[in-house]
Amino acid sequence: MKNILRKTLVILGLFGLNPLTLFATIKGLPFYCTDLIKFKWSNKSSDFRLGPLYPIFTDRFATSGCMSGHYFHQDILVAKKIFNNSPRRHVDIGSRTDGFVAHVATFREIEVIDIRQQTSAVNNIVFKQADLMKLPENMIGYCDSVSALHSIEHFGLGRYGDPIDYNGHIKAIKNISQILQPNGTFYFSVPIGPQRIEFNAHRVFSVEYLLTILKECFSIKSFSYVNDKGNLIENPMQTQDNIKNNFFCHYGCGIFELKKKLI
């Protein structure tokens, strides 16, 4: 039921409709009107004139901020690992710039590769536009550390203007293995759960499938995941039951720290 509701909200959002926002607006409107009258009556000085009204109805009922979910946990966890490991050169593939990339840029330089254009220039962030389903020859053995957080699941689905390719995720992982130097580290996260494609948003991977496609080039140094409730579970027991059932996630987030095998 929760998944049906989530998908319904996503579809309505595509047409600019959000029932949750509408409900919060109706709920918050009486508070806003009452507060506005109180505020006007409390004005005893002329330091500020009352400008155009800018009503915000939803914040009254929200928490102090979101500290759960895939991006919140993966961004902090992997940024901390990079800080501790201090690689010579770190390259990111398509991770969130206003989360993970920003975290890393506070303490070191990070190179970011994305198929989309980026016009902003920020200290410690070096941007390169490229399609990682096609490996540039000058990037073979390029670095000792790579991250791709919540990005590989999109490759080849066309969502970001990338070419349609059913096996785009396979090509990306193989190319990342070539970018890495021997024994280099790959920080990798994708949605986990019953395996499926929700076109054109993303792929969701079964854990068994991920272990199969990763073992050719990588060994697992650590694994954590974010469950369906948005909570981080670090270093869980990798039992056959947990793996087979995708750690009991329908739409979780698997977070891998991988080492490139010495071939």
Q: Which residues contact 187 (CB under 8 A, 6 or more apart)?
A: 78, 81, 82, 145, 146, 147, 148, 149, 255, 256, 257, 258
**Segment 51-73, tens digit of pLDDT:** 899 998 888 888 777 889 999 99
- Average pLDDT of the segment spanning 186-209: 97
Q: Quote the tokens at residue 160.
A: 């970001």
Q: How many other CB atoms are there within 10 angstroms of residue 177's CB atom?
A: 20
- Average pLDDT of the segment spanning 212-225: 97
Domain boundaries, the chain: 2-61, 70-260
CA distance 136 to 95: 19
pLDDT surpasses 70 at 177: yes
Give, to the nearest 10 degrees, the angle between helix 207-214 and helix 168-179: 40
**Segment 11-57, tens digit of pLDDT:** 776 787 788 788 888 999 999 999 999 998 888 777 888 889 999 88
CA distance 165 to 157: 7
pLDDT surpasses 70 at 2: no
pLDDT surpasses 90 at 94: yes
pTM (two decimals): 0.89
pLDDT score, position 60: 86
pLDDT score, position 232: 98
CATH 3.40.50.150 fits 70-260, yes or no: yes
Least confident of 39-48, 112-121, 140-149: 39-48
Query: Whole-number mean pLDDT of the chain?
Result: 93
